[in-house]
């Protein structure tokens, strides 16, 4: 009997895939209700305790806590509930490692567009926002959406910068231009790692306003500043920088625009200047990895971009004039690779 194929395994896997939204909504709803914050303040609470404090009826409170436990976000000890190490570190708002901004952004902003994925594919246009009303995802004037989006970007960028930063040699870099670096998460982390480094965030006006507060709160106002601009509308990028950074930028745009931006980076850099690119790259065989593949698909509903391979990016860079292209493989929420190249 052991050699017999498991007839339930196939349908069970399909069911797991098709009900992925259930798990995601359980997480985002528990976060919105502040289940994890409440358990951090009152560890060992019972379902009844939580239901009373969060003003939930007992039946749904019990179902949500069971789901959170099954997802590895709540530990049960009899009737008593505790955060797991995962939820306590990343889903409690007061923690410096809080990652809930990403969860909130996906839940409040992305899902509506994903529900229209077929439309996005057939019409070849984003569904998370109206291309007839806005020029891009990033010029949305809704302050709630903007705050949610940049909190999400800060969450993923901080962890990614901590993973990739130590592998990037910036010992000879003194002035870094972070192109589209709203939130300054990368700049804060790189300046912590490199005490000699100064950084400038180059982004849209409303993004710079949000970013300046984050820089001040991190205590880097003397080493990180912002410059307002538009890396497509402006004829050139600011000069005077020996390093430029593109973190999760290129996947938002079509191939022609990507190469146009890379040429602007090349022109702005001095000889021996460095470009650093952080991205989720697709395998050259175009069969994964899953996070990069799904991010590429997400670009169909969010932007005009797509996922691309290390070979494609290397070809673009060399064609523009960069040399010594290096691909650094990592594992992080917003990137699986850093690509570094030099202007001869």
Q: Which residues are catalytic?
A: 251
Q: Which residues contact 78 (CB under 8 A, 6 or more apart)?
A: none
Give the number of other Cβ atoms within 10 Å of residue 57's Cβ.
Answer: 8
Q: Is 181 exposed, middle or buried (0-12, 13-18, 19+ CB in 10 A)?
A: buried
Distances (CA, A) of 344 to 32, 59, 121, 319: 50, 66, 40, 13
Compute the distance between CA of residue 215 and CA of residue 77 in angstroms, rounded to an integer: 42
- DSSP readout, 199-222? EEEEE-HHHHHHHHHHHHHHT-TT
The pairing of strands 74-77 and 80-83 is antiparallel
- DSSP readout, 8-54? THHHHHHHHHHTHHHHHHHHHHHHHTTHHHHHHHSTTEEHHHHHHHT
Q: Is residue 24 a contact partner of residue 107, using CB atoms and an 8 Å limit?
A: yes
Compute the distance between CA of residue 296 and CA of residue 254 in angstroms, rounded to an integer: 12
Compute the distance between CA of residue 247 and CA of residue 275 in angstroms, rounded to an integer: 11
Compute the distance between CA of residue 308 and CA of residue 292 in angstroms, rounded to an integer: 9
Q: Is residue 94 a contact partner of residue 87, using CB atoms and an 8 Å limit?
A: no
Compute the distance between CA of residue 185 and CA of residue 191 in angstroms, rounded to an integer: 10
- Cα 122 off chain centre by: 26
């Amino acid at each position: 009997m052991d050699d017999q194929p498991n007839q339930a395994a196939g349908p069970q896997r399909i069911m797991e895939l098709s009900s992925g939204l259930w798990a995601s909504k359980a997480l985002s709803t528990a976060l919105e209700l502040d289940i994890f914050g409440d358990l951090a303040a009152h560890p060992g609470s019972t379902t009844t305790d939580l239901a009373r404090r969060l003003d939930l009826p007992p039946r749904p409170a019990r179902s949500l806590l069971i789901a959170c436990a099954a997802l590895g976000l709540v530990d049960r000890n009899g009737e008593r509930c505790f955060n797991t190490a995962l939820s306590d570190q990343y889903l409690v708002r007061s923690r410096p490692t809080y990652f809930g901004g990403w969860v909130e952004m996906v839940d409040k902003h992305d899902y509506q567009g994903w529900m229209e994925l077929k439309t996005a594919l057939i019409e070849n246009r984003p569904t998370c926002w109206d291309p007839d009303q806005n020029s891009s995802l990033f010029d949305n004037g809704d302050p709630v959406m903007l705050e949610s989006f940049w909190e999400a970007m800060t969450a993923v960028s901080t962890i990614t910068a901590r993973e990739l930063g130590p592998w990037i040699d910036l010992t000879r870099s003194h002035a870094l231009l972070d192109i589209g670096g709203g939130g300054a998460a990368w700049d804060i982390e790189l300046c912590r790692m490199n005490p000699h480094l100064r950084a400038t965030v180059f982004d849209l006006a409303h993004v710079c306003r949000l970013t300046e507060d984050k820089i001040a709160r991190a205590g880097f106002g003397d080493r990180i500043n912002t410059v307002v601009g538009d890396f497509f509308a402006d004829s050139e990028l600011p000069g005077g920088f020996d390093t430029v950074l593109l973190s999760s930028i290129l996947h938002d745009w079509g191939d022609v625009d990507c190469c146009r931006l890379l040429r602007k980076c090349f022109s702005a850099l001095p000889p021996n200047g460095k470009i650093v690119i952080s991205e989720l790259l697709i395998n050259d065989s175009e069969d994964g990895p899953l996070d990069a593949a799904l991010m590429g698909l997400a670009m169909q509903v969010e932007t005009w971009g797509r996922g691309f391979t290390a070979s494609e990016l290397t070809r673009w860079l060399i064609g523009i004039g960069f040399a010594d292209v290096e691909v650094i493989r990592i594992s992080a929420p917003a990137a699986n690779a850093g690509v570094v190249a030099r202007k001869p």
